[in-house]
Structure 1
Amino acid sequence: MTTILVTGGTGTLGRQVTARLRDAGQDVRVLSRRSPSYAVDLRDGRGLDAALDGVDAIVHCATSPRGGDDRAAGHLIGAARRAGVPHLVDISIVGVDRIPLGYYTVKHRVERMIEESGLGWTILRATQFHDLVLGILSAAARLPVLPVPAGVSVQPIDSGEVAERLAALALGAPAGRVPEMGGPEVRELADLARVHLGATGRKRRVVPVRLAGRAYAGYRRGDHLTPERAVGTGTFEEFLARRYHRPV
């Protein structure tokens, strides 16, 4: 049996990675600020040494759009070195090296920190999860009209499929940068907004809005997409049908 620690193990992705590893008969330690067993805030790192004692691999799913991922990674890498953990698996995002968005810049910095850590490492980049696209559209749908960035497409993927891949990677040897995972379809965000409205029974006019800035230009170019790696199978419609318990 392998002992694997999952950071962010109570989150959307981490919960699913944990479940798959346990189904495979592995000993899994769930680390997060809310974990009943390993309650650790990676931003200060207190408690990491005890959590990593005897661990064979780490799956690093913890992240915060509010910032601090690089500081958290620094604490994790330092503790992993002290514990002699042989394998660190990290989930990253397609386009972090191409789109000048603050969150992406930090995620790319974390990648470089892991690559230079001296640990055995594996990094998987994936496109946006269905859950994230749903969150964006749900928030926008609270307005009288539903605004979306004009000319932007997305390639959403089922987080469960990414969790399956991460679990398999954690059980293998360090593999470096592995092929990206993209969702099965590249779809205009405006199109997915209409699908979401139909699934929720709301009536809103979808309004494409042109934005400014280099990050928006990168999204319009599709720098966050990987159509050549459309390996996901679950569509956004299927995700919504499960979420709302109705056909979409």
Structure 2
Amino acid sequence: MSDRYAEFAETFEIDYPAERVLRLTMNKPERLNALDKTGHNHMTYVWNAIDQDPDVSVVILTAKGRAFSAGGDFSMIGEMIEDYHARVRSWKEAKDLVYNIINCGKPVVSAINGVAVGAGLVAGLLADISIVAKSAKIVDGHTRLGVAAGDHAVINWPLLCGMAKAKYHLMLCEPMTGEEAERMGLVSLAVDDDALQDKALEVATRLANGAPSALRFTKYALNNWYRMAGPSFDASVALEMLGFTSPEAAEGLKSHLEKRQPNFDPRSDA
């Protein structure tokens, strides 16, 4: 492994399955690849290293085990509720994660299996080519936790699957399978579970053998649709972080830990 990526080895297993193709494999299967404070930081800033690597043309993001990512771990969420500095750090990383993937010049291919939530889902759905196992379970659970859907959804879900579907799934935390996600246009392609990794590698290899400048220029130009949604996204992340100061977030986290439905106060000052 190149020294360029050594600092990210705690979160990712890193290899090169084809010439000029870098593969990042989230490597905490015993925790369903939930991201702790270190993992969230690595997921945010690895894209800068990839962008500057002259030996890489394409990157694959995938995961080991039966889940793509179970989101942020509860200890990190608890710290965000209790500590202002943790919220500010998370706010910066949350917006940097989205913009770093958007601005990374190298094409990104995601191979999404199992449960996909949180920061892992952010990267998976912002990939230029998102490939999902048909049985995968995609869900944005922010409002169930008691905070606004701020990770990424406001910048890309309305564009990918339309405002009506985005509101339905984001406000109700309604899960969908990989097949449903493809039907809605949220992902590029759904394949049989056992074909996921081979298909991702096939697509990445085709991209690596393509005209590099043409592909990067195309990505840059298309991602201006996301950049135009930047103000809406920035508001969503700020409102998410504001939500972590609320009694709703405290009750949402407590209900998760106690494995019960949350009991939110129906009154709101918003």
Give the TM-score, by structure 1 length.
0.28
Structure of higher CA gyration radius? 1
Give the TM-score, by structure 2 length.
0.27
